[in-house]
Amino acid sequence: MVIPTFKDPEIIRKGAFVNGEWINTATKRFDVLDPATETKIADLPDQDLSIVDEAIDHAAIAFKTYSKTSPRQRSQWLRNLFDLMTEYNEDLAKICTWENGKSLTESRGEIKYAASYFEWFSEEAPRIYGQTIQPTNPQNRVYTTYQPVGVCGIITPWNFPSAMITRKAAAALAAGCTVVIKPDSQTPLSALALAYLVEKAGFPKGVFNVVLSHTQTPEFGLKLCKSKKVKKISFTGSTNVGKILMEQSASTLKKLSMELGGNAPVIVFKDADLDKAVEQSIASKFRGLGQTCVCANRIYVESSILEAFEKKFVEKVSQFVIGHGLDDATTHGALINGKAIVKVEEHINDAVEKGAKILIKGGRREDLGANFFAPSVLSNVNKSMKVASEETFGPLGAIIPFDSTDEVIEAANDVDVGLAAYVFTKDINTIYKVSESLEFGMISCNTGLFTDSAVPFGGIKESGFGREGSYLGLQDYLVVKSIIHHVDF
């Protein structure tokens, strides 16, 4: 059993956080496990459904005063939170690795990225500008003002247990909204650690709430969606669950932001910088061992450079060090659970049965633990295989040859989702043609890692709607009010 040490042991919280109080009582409890060892690292309350109503009520009361605070005051609280996340970076990274399984290097990067949203939106909070408009009637005057939408329900996944919260909560808090957060029960400690720092940052009680459930997650989501006091739902997760939450929110016509599944294509043209294309494709594909919504799922390589690309790709992937994420020598840790492994194996077996060529076999590493899986790399992949049409969400590199620009654009677009896509070429005309033709919300050219608090993050088609980060991220937590004056002169 691997147990990390923390600079501040109090950052490991043992209960939910509602209205500024830590709640550890419940008739049922659930265990949080280290995916690498499958040993218990925490015991938390599996809360009754009533806690959602309680958290919503407190958030609604807090909203009445918090929404009236000055943007400068909210900016300062957010800046305090950024400073605290920076100070606690190592402790937060250890928590992330401990409950998620990713390498400590990746977790450190996540915490830095997560904290950047508090910095970014601390700077955006004072810049919520309205407009003046001259209407048709010369005796009327019109101006618009932006106001916080209200209480926001935030539902987040396990793959980025800190960043998926901060991307949403930072914008909400900057706008003047209050939040009720339901983290994934596999990775709740990161959310509770954030609540611990929110408390230290000075936010008023009831503004930031975290509720916990393992056995009633769908019911918690339904409560948030059906509540008339909750004015917005922000969700990151699967497309199927997003559709359910959208349907459940229809009765109250909530404002929604949905960051859903992806199936990202990487397109490598023959004139690309080959070394960079290989390096960045690997960085995208195997970040979090492929357990990210924007990771490369289909790697299209122009036929004339296919052999050279595959050789370099295999050389780089073969250098990975698989192990417990808290080991500094580890480059890639464990998958989140056994279901993730089954999905990867299903895609590998399907592709091989249909003619894919194995470049790196990979597979289970039971010598390390039940949830370890060494990356696999396949070539000669085609559109008949599951990996070409379904998101693997795991460490399978699927390389697909192509011969023409129009052919690869059509193949890349032939999916229901549209989150991220990647293009590698030195030809600026190709970049413009391909990036403008791809049906994805984000097109990353000549880099495999593009996420940044300044970038509008989000997809199109069945990858959802709404944007997180950038100045646009704030808009999703605001409503526009038009005020019309009639003047008698």
- By the 8 A CB rule, do 37 and 369 touch? yes
Reduced to 3 states (helix: H, G, I; strand: E, B; else coil), residue 381 is: coil
| HEC string for 426-477 | CCHHHHHHHHHHCCCCEEEECCCCCCCCCCCECCEECCEECCECCCHHHHCC
Q: Which residues pair with 40 in a beta bridge?
A: 33
**In DSSP terms, which residues pair with 317 in a beta bridge?**
none
Determine which one of 124, 259, 310, 468 is catalytic: 259
What strands, in cross-sheet order, belong to the sheet with 264-268?
A: 357-360, 376-379, 396-402, 296-302, 264-268, 420-424, 442-445
Q: Which residues pair with 255 in a beta bridge?
A: 232
Q: 247 catalytic, yes or no?
A: no
Strands, E assignment, 206-295:
208-210, 230-236, 255-259, 264-268
> Which letter does DSSP use for residue 1 in this model?
-
CA–CA separation, 66 vs 339, rounded Å? 42
Length of the chain: 489
Helices (H), 88-187: 89-100, 104-124, 163-175
Give the H/E segment covering residue 34. strand 28-34
199 with 147: CB under 8 angstroms? no
- Between CA 266 and CA 410 the distance in angstroms is 13
Type of residue numbered 428 = I
Positive or negative CA dihedral for 69, 73, 77, 78?
positive
Positions of E strands within 261-364: 264-268, 296-302, 357-360, 363-364
- Among all residues, which ones are annotated catalytic? 259
